Amino acid sequence: MIDFELEPQVVNQLKMYHLAAAQLMRPISREFDEREHSEPRAFWEAMWTASQNLGEPADAKPRAGEGASRLRNLNTCLSVEELCWGDAGLFLSIPGGGLGGAAVAAAGTAEQRERFLRRFREGQPKWGAMAITEPGCGSDSAAITTTATRDGDHWVINGTKIFCTAGQMAAEKSEGFVVVWATVDRQAGRAGIKPFVVEHHTPGMTVVRVENKLGIRASDTAMIVFENCRVPADHLLGSAEVKRDGGFKDVMATFDATRPIVAAMAIGVGRAALDFVRDFLAQNNIPVRYGISPRRLTALERDFMEMEVQLKAARLLTWRAAWMLDMGKRNNLEASMAKAKAGKAVTQITQKAVELLGPVGYSRKELVEKWMRDAKINDIFEGTQQINLMIVARRILDYSSRELN
């Protein structure tokens, strides 16, 4: 029998995150949306302090037989939903391992995980970022052209990366790092792609631009150039050996871990919009009648119920993908299903919220129009809607990328 009951300690932790979302994030949400590239330092300090007192750090590894701690990925998704109900951009700006930490956890050795991730459990706020997308390589991550060439005890990295979430903070303003995906052997194709940890302020790594964006404007999204950037040999995550079944699979393993989190982000934004519409209808004495024939429902009631259904469906898919990861099961199909469903659902929900609320939804007086802007990124990064649907089709039909592209 499936049990959706949450552990008491998880419920208490979610209450604390919701309180932070309501009291720390919502009041400054509009300010840092309008002041893109400003640094919400007081917020960072508050969240960093709170994170040190809230259970396991984000980069902790689950251990068998520890009850709720075994569900680290699922609990992370629950917490992310609460924080993105507050503000998705501010959530992405919070100091932590981020996508870089996820890449280390997925591709690094036990020693590398301890060495690179321990910094996020101690000291001052730090950031991790991942650099994979390139100007000529968007959704097709296997087409990476950035190179890493061995030179004695170092690797020399050359190339350009774009759309690096928290890239500026990780590269320039903290004791964090950027995980760069580069090819060590062009002839090997996907198998030759390897991840490298590049420490902050490493010579040859330069942030050349920070993007002006439609949404999630409180977080930085950077373009980073690597020009003869030298990193120690042991900063290559995992093995340097080029194997036919290696390389790009480490990329996908990272996405299998992070796509449920991105889906949870979408759910948080969608829930914020849904809650606002529900409260607005209640305040204006407009009922939503459940349990009656669909033929008797108004158009507004049907739209609102459809928003609820889509959000709940996305949430269940996300929980399943995260739970499978916690159980050590392969979740490639489920992670892509969750990401595709949540990205599409939140886009539709926030657009419908603006539509139903009319001038209130379109006005900048409320946050509804901002949530619509914030929502769209969830349908794009960590693999676009189209890419994730293609992955789902390949897994269900058991087709290779060559057979179905």
Helix 299-326 and helix 332-357, axial crossing angle in degrees, nearest 10: 150
Residue pair 116/177 in contact by the 8 Å Cβ criterion: yes
Active site annotation includes 66: no
Q: Determine the Cα–Cα distance for residues 376 and 370; give it in Å rounded to an integer.
A: 10
Tokens standing for 61?
Answer: 């590894």
> What are the tokens at 80?
């992310």
Q: What are phi and psi for residue 243, nearest 5 degrees?
A: -115, 150
> According to DSSP H, which parts of 284-298 are helical?
none
Q: Which structure tokens are listed for 214? A: 């439609």
Q: Dmax of the chain from CA atoms? A: 75
Question: What are φ and ψ of residue 331, in 5° steps?
Answer: -125, 20
Q: What is the chain's Cα-based Rg?
A: 21
Q: Strand pairing of 128-131 and 177-183?
A: parallel
Any residues with CB less than 8 A from the CB of 190 and at least 6 apart, and which?
A: 142, 247, 248
User: Which uninterrupted H or E stretch holds 165?
Assistant: strand 154-165
Rounded to an integer, what distance in angstroms lies between the CA atom of residue 231 and that of residue 261?
29
Catalytic residue, candidates 134, 306, 382, 403: 382
Structure-token match 């429902």, residue found: 297
**What is the DSSP code string of 188-252?**
GGGGGEEEEEEETT-TTEEEEEE---SS-TTS-EEEEEEEEEEEEGGGB-S--S--TTSTHHHHH
Which two tokens mark 45? 């300090």
- The set of catalytic residues is 382
